[in-house]
Amino acid sequence: MISALPEQFSIHSVHQVVIILLISIVVGFLSGLLGKGGSAIATPALQVFAGVPPFFALASPLPSTLPTTISASWVYKKAHYLLHNKVIVLSILTGIPATLLGSYASQWVSGNILMIITALFVCILGISFIIPVLKREPAPERQEINIAPAGWKIIVIGLFVGGLSGLLANSGGVLFAPLFIRTLKLPVKQALACSLVVAAALAIPGTLAHWWLGHIDWWLVLILSVGSIPGSYLGARLAISLKNETLELIFGIMLCLFGAYDIFFTLHPLL
């Protein structure tokens, strides 16, 4: 549940600032590499390594998603053929209202069960990337993007991921990218590019909702942004340079690790 008033929090030492900054650099790099906002990684890391209280660790990474994804999106913008306008526009138009509803409903819904279910889903998606890559022969790189996914599929993804994003206070990138690849059949780099743009847009209403609920510490947001902006830029540069098969394998492995990490982090206090 995230309905109660958050406990007081303040950054009290240089050591804590350094830890938060290191977390933001790593999270930013992974965000650019994997086309996600990064809050799903930052939340448990801030609690475990920086001692940030749950409320602030959950919601404060969300506004830092915006500069992080913009930084990585700039790399993809220079490779303009990677963006798919239909996917981006429909995902944003459906994802924003779903995010607002999810954020509002979060005050009545316990996040633990949702977190575990989402993490299991992420692990399954990760495995679905790893197995095909290990079985098939390397394919030539595809530069021309002529895929026209069905609008209703994009709308369903936007509503589903947007609602979960609001409930769990993240930008949805951890689900948008793999669902764009698996459901819409987008090439991996195009899916990552679209996911970054959508995650940036969905971070705005989520930020406003959780700011209204009092869950955001803006000094924490500032430190997270300072490290994540250059990190995400470098991560996106690396993603662009990798072969599709290599990137898909890395993507699948990291999804499994993220899912397993979230499951452990959620269940550990209960054991």
Q: Does residue 209 lie within any of the structural domains?
A: yes
pTM: predicted TM-score of the whole model, two decimal places: 0.81
Question: How far is it, in rounded angstroms, from Cα 14 to Cα 37?
Answer: 26
- Which stretches of the chain are assigned E, i.e. beta strand? none
**Could you list the residue range(s) of the whole structural domain that residue 146 is in?**
14-270
Domain count, the chain: 1
Question: How far is it, in rounded angstroms, from Cα 39 to Cα 62?
Answer: 6
Q: Does residue 87 lie within any of the structural domains?
A: yes
Q: Does residue 248 lie within any of the structural domains?
A: yes
Nearest to 208 by CA among 51, 36, 28, 65: 65
Residue type, 36: K
Give the pLDDT band (50/70/90) at residue 9: low
**pLDDT per position as a tens digit, 50-94:** 888 877 887 888 888 888 888 998 888 887 657 899 999 999 999
Q: Does residue 5 lie within any of the structural domains?
A: no
Nearest to 196 by CA among 72, 81, 41, 92: 72
Give the pLDDT band (50/70/90) at residue 158: very high
**pLDDT per position as a tens digit, 232-270:** 999 999 999 998 889 989 989 998 998 898 788 778 776
Q: Does residue 9 lie within any of the structural domains?
A: no
Q: Does residue 2 lie within any of the structural domains?
A: no
